[in-house]
Amino acid sequence: MLFSHNFSRYLQISSINMTLKFFMIIMSVLTVVNGLDNGLARTPPMGWMQWERFRCLTDCDNYPDECISHKLFRAMADHMLSDGYLDAGYEYVIIDDCWFSHKRDNEGRLQPDPDRFPYGIKSLADYIHSKGLKFGIYADYGIFTCAGYPGSLNHLEIDAHTFAEWGVDYLKFDGCYSDYITIDKGYIEMDKYLNATDRPIVYSCSWPAYQESNDMESNYTALAQTCNLWRNWDDIDDSWESVSEIISWFSTNQDRLAPFSGPGHWNDPDMLIIGNYGLSLEQCKAQMAIWSIMAAPLIMSVDLRTIDAEFRDIILNKEAISVNQDPLGIMGRLVLTRNKINIWTKPLQPREDGQQPYAIALMSNRTDGYPYKIGFTLTELNITNPNGFQMKDVFEKNNTLPFITDDEKIYLRMKPTGGALLVFTPIEEQLIVV
């Protein structure tokens, strides 16, 4: 990716007082709806989940290394630690559907499939905890899970206590086989039982995914007071079409979703599918850029044993993660579309001197077959600083420019269906350029 701009000549001037701008940013943050305050998920959760990559593969005879079993999750925990994912912030190892036995035990408790999890779930949780990781599990509010295993309807309290006894740190609570119109009541009730266990459990809800997909707008005020994160819309699939449709839905609905993003409560566009079969390298950059700018949970679903290095580098990109994990927790918004290229902006936490950094994500919807040169200024994106900015292209090496002003044209060559992530750091003083 290439970019260039014209340098202007400036006399050295003192930094101006940024108090008013800082005040405006803080006031915008305070407009975020108050949400669940259980001390958890103060930044978007990061981890690994099996579903998109391994689905409901339970045939351990023919697929011993890929089936949903204790062996798979122990292996992923090992790679989370040894390959740098935990150091980068990816701390949860989460079991999705299909871990269950088809029957509850004699006391009405959920139990794992005895052949695939012969040592029980607590043993697996203990192993994951021994690696310095946290453990997540899946359940469903309805009569059955999406794959047909026992649901939690009429068993909410005993299931909450079972998860706590097993050492669960994160619960993904689905909503198959339930009434989507009244589904929120069950999620709110489950929150009460989880809190009663006194174990800190991140609560991932799915009720808006069922309501929004049925043309019913969810109560996001209630969601933010009940859940740490929530799936808003359709499941992600291993394809660019799926990723781009999800991004389009979020941008269309951003004005009603963004106010509910913040520390402890997050909109969730679903898993990262980087490194699987359906996305090119450039499309993977696009997903990471948009998930980072939206302050979305970064939950990988890929085989960490076989992922190629170039895809792993995207997932582990420190600057992209920093944008995603910014303490303000602001959900970035789409602010400009030009020649089928979308541009999103996100204010980052102000510095101690009150000056405001920004992140910008670009995603190309062009399919011309060649890179397209796009030009824009920061002023067009409502980003200003009298002294200019230093610009960094997150996914490119050695592409830090020393100085750029609000009105200077920035040019990027965007590859077809590709993405970019830029970070702009304000400069304190302008210097004469000789």
With contact defined as beta carbons under 8 Å apart, do 353 and 426 qualify?
A: no
CA gap 170, 47 in Å, rounded: 10
Secondary structure of residue 239 in the 3-state scheme? coil
CA gap 177, 340 in Å, rounded: 39
Strands 410-414 and 3-4: antiparallel
Contacts 24+ apart (CB under 8 A), 75-80: 75/304, 75/305, 76/48, 76/50, 76/304, 77/127, 77/128, 77/131, 77/133, 78/131, 79/304, 79/305, 80/48, 80/131, 80/133, 80/304
Secondary structure of residue 88 in the 3-state scheme? helix
> Known catalytic residues?
174, 235
CA gap 406, 146 in Å, rounded: 50
Judged on CB neighbours under 10 Å (0-12, 13-18, 19+), 365 is: middle
Backbone angles phi, psi at 371, to 5 degrees: -65, 140
Backbone angles phi, psi at 353, to 5 degrees: -85, 5
Say which residues have a Cβ less than 8 Å from residue 5's Cβ, sequence separation at least 6.
Answer: 401, 404, 408, 409, 410, 411
Distance between the two ends of the chain, CA-based, in angstroms?
28
Backbone angles phi, psi at 374, to 5 degrees: -115, 145
- CB 312: neighbour CB atoms within 10 A? 18
